[in-house]
Structure 1
Amino acid sequence: MDLEYTVIETVHQNNAGQVIKIDYEFDETVAIEASTSSSLSSIARQNKEKRNRTYDVTITREQYQGMTQQLSSALSFDAFISVLRPFITGYYKDDELERAFSALDRDRSGSINVRELNSFLPILNETANGEALNAYVRKVDANFDGNLSYDEFRSLVLRGIGRDIICNHL
């Protein structure tokens, strides 16, 4: 199975340079190869099936602030945006990942627990509950402590697990 994806990010800023809206267009193509052969002949065929999915995420500062009024531990909009970019793209540049990790590590313990992860994800995916998040954390939790160290968080992002959570692949 081959997975290909493209992400287009559009950032809207006000005159002061403050981000007021961010759009992500995410196209995912999965190619599945299946070999078949006929018993009547020695011809082997390669079949390739492609499945496409498109996701659009748009969030404004105003929308975000309205949604987070019900969450006591929600990130600021700017911190949310710094976490969102590597999560949804599956990659990062410069110190983006360190900033994202720091924004999520609210108690400054050096790791991210599910409660801290929950301060970010329900805004984008209301089905991302503690049980589902624990299942995703277990996929990269090398030391089995239920928390994400920086390296485990990096693995979660690079393996596209964050994107899977956001795109509702729960």
Structure 2
Amino acid sequence: MGGSPSSEKNKVYKKEFSKYDKNRDGRMNTNELRALLRALNRNPTETSLKKMMADIDENKNGSIEYDEFVKLMNRLDGEISRELAPTFEKHDKDNSGFISADELDAVFQEMGIELTPEGLQAEIKSVDLDGDGNLSFQEFKKLIGRI
């Protein structure tokens, strides 16, 4: 699952890496990693954070360089996909492989989020890359990741 990310993902990863590399040294320390994980709705214990850092830090210099960060992000992306797949499948009532506006509204209601029809359409439009009004799994994942 490693390898190099697509050009689109690479742009996102570079932006995120720069955002959390607070001291701009080209590396992320434990505190910077913790901030990133919290932004991704992960709240690791100190022990699990140290283990994650040790697993990711391939050159064992005590920090995460960009290439190590990419591997972490790919791993986290896989975890998020596994977590969201059952929700996507549950609400994809017609098994089309896409979530319609009505199906997405049901997801939001299940999460306790009430949106107006206009608000729902705005959310869909914000991630609907092909403009078909339905969300693929990747588009759905992107939207839920922002919430």
Same fold (TM over 0.5): no
Q: TM-score, normalised by structure 1?
A: 0.38
Please state which structure has a larger fraction of its residues in strand.
Answer: 1
Structure showing greater Rg? 1
Please state which structure has a larger fraction of its residues in helix.
Answer: 2
